[in-house]
């Protein structure tokens, strides 16, 4: 085997991006750079710099890059190939069996962090219901280090990913539980300042178009009954029991579900229900306060 090659990184990236674009991937050039970064153990900026300085790929690197491109062209999620998903300042470990954290959930995390940081207590308590990889809970634990966080996850596969991330990224203020948010936190009744959740909220018949989501995110992370709001109905009632007076609930939902979520929260007894838009002006987070 030769380590010399005439293939430049620039040419490999162009060819890889063309394969990904042909497979229907929108940000094909970005994904090609991120896969090259993974294979070459560089940052994305490092890849861009290496292109400018005319770096070549040896045959092993070229083969590894081609293999990664081929998997991505089969619409395996980028994050399953790299094993990593960025979330705020974190790099979470992810793979088959766990929901890949989404950038829009960073906004929910911001509401929860701001509310938790403002609680006038030396050790306020927050919960994350359906923690998946642990994204929201670990962001809370690391960005509000004086707080205590309890996260719960029902899926055994997802729980394993969360446990790995919690061990690697947190420092003793996050407790992870394996069970259902319907009843796994009964010992925390009336003690919680912030109830945060990105629950399943996709209506049963709204099958996601992207194969990455449809084929690779766990079903139990996505679907929640006919209107997608079954888990939010449960979480509203459970949250009311967990929160103390003045405590806040912060929920992610689909862009057309704001009114439905506010109605559920208000009829259960939450007050000041308000829906907040993401950076693309879509209603994606609703907050409310326990009277």
Residues designated as active site: 99, 198-199
Residue 155, interface with ligand SAM (CB under 6 A)? yes
Q: What are phi and psi of 280, to 5 degrees?
A: -105, 20
- Choose from ligand SAM, ligand GLN, none: what does 25 bind? Cβ within 5-8 Å by kind: none
Q: Among residues 18 and 182, whose Cβ is nearest to ligand GLN? A: 182
Instruction: Considering only the stretches 12-20, 46-54, 58-66, 130-138, report the one whose residues sit in contact with ligand SAM under the rule CB under 6 A.
Output: 130-138
CB of 196 to ligand GLN, least distance (A): 13
Strand partners of residue 286? 251, 275
Angle at 185 between CA 180 and CA 188, to 5 degrees: 165
Instruction: Considering only the stretches 71-79, 146-154, 239-247, 274-282, report the one whose residues sit in contact with ligand SAM under the rule CB under 6 A.
Output: 146-154
Q: Which of 180, 227, 241, 266 lies at the binding interface for ligand SAM (CB under 6 A)?
A: 180
| Buried-state track 67-91, b at ≥16 Cβ within 10 A, e below 16 | ebbeebbebbbbbbbbebbebbebe
CB of 277 to ligand GLN, least distance (A): 15
**Residues lying near ligand GLN in the complex (CB under 6 A):** 102, 198, 200-202, 208, 213, 222
Q: Among residues 220 and 227, whose Cβ is nearest to ligand SAM? A: 220
Q: What CA–CA distance (Å, rounded) separates 229 from 85?
A: 27
Q: Which of 35, 68, 140, 152 lies at the binding interface for ligand SAM (CB under 6 A)?
A: 152
- By CB under 6 A, the count of residues binding ligand SAM is 23
Counting every residue written for the chain, the total comes to 291
CB 69 within 8 A of CB 16: yes
- Helices within the chain (DSSP H only): 9-22, 28-40, 44-52, 59-73, 78-82, 105-117, 135-143, 156-169, 211-216, 219-222, 230-242, 258-268
Q: Which of 7, 21, 163, 182 lies at the binding interface for ligand SAM (CB under 6 A)?
A: 182
Place of tokens 């010992």: 187
List, in order, residues 6 or more apart from 280 with CB less than 8 Å away.
none
Q: Among residues 77 and 124, whose Cβ is nearest to ligand GLN? A: 77
Place of tokens 């009843």: 183
CB of 184 to ligand SAM, least distance (A): 7
Q: What are phi and psi of 168, to 5 degrees?
A: -80, -30
Q: What CA–CA distance (Å, rounded) separates 272 from 289?
A: 6
Residue 105, interface with ligand SAM (CB under 6 A)? yes
Residues 80-99 that bind ligand SAM (CB under 6 A): 99
Contact positions vs ligand SAM (CB under 6 A): 99, 101, 105, 130-133, 135-136, 152-155, 158, 180-182, 198-200, 220-221, 231
């Amino acid at each position: 085997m030769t380590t010399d090659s005439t293939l430049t990184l620039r040419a490999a990236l162009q060819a890889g991006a063309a394969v990904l674009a042909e497979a229907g991937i929108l940000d094909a050039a970005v994904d090609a750079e991120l896969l090259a970064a993974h294979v070459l153990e560089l940052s994305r900026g490092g890849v861009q710099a290496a292109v400018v300085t005319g770096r070549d790929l040896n045959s092993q690197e070229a083969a590894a890059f081609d293999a990664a491109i081929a998997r991505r062209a089969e619409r395996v999620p980028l994050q399953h190939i790299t094993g990593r998903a960025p979330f705020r300042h974190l790099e979470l470990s992810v793979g088959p069996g766990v929901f890949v954290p989404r950038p829009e959930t960073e906004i929910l995390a911001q509401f929860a962090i701001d509310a938790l940081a403002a609680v006038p207590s030396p050790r306020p308590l927050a919960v994350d219901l359906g923690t998946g990889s642990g994204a929201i809970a670990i962001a809370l634990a690391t960005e509000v280090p004086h707080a205590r966080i309890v996260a719960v996850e029902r899926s055994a596969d997802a729980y394993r990913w969360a446990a790995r991330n919690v061990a690697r990224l947190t420092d003793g203020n996050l407790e992870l539980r394996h069970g259902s948010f319907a009843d796994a936190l009964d010992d925390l009744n009336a003690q919680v300042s912030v109830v945060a959740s990105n629950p399943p909220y996709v209506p049963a018949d709204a099958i996601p178009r992207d194969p990455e989501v449809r084929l690779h995110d766990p079903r139990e992370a996505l679907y929640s009954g006919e209107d997608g709001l079954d888990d939010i109905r449960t979480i509203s009632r459970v949250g009311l029991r967990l929160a103390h007076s003045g405590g806040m609930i912060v929920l992610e939902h689909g862009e057309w579900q704001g009114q439905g979520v506010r109605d559920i929260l208000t009829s259960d007894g939450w007050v000041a229900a308000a829906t907040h838009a993401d950076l693309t002006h879509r209603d994606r987070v609703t907050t409310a306060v326990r009277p």
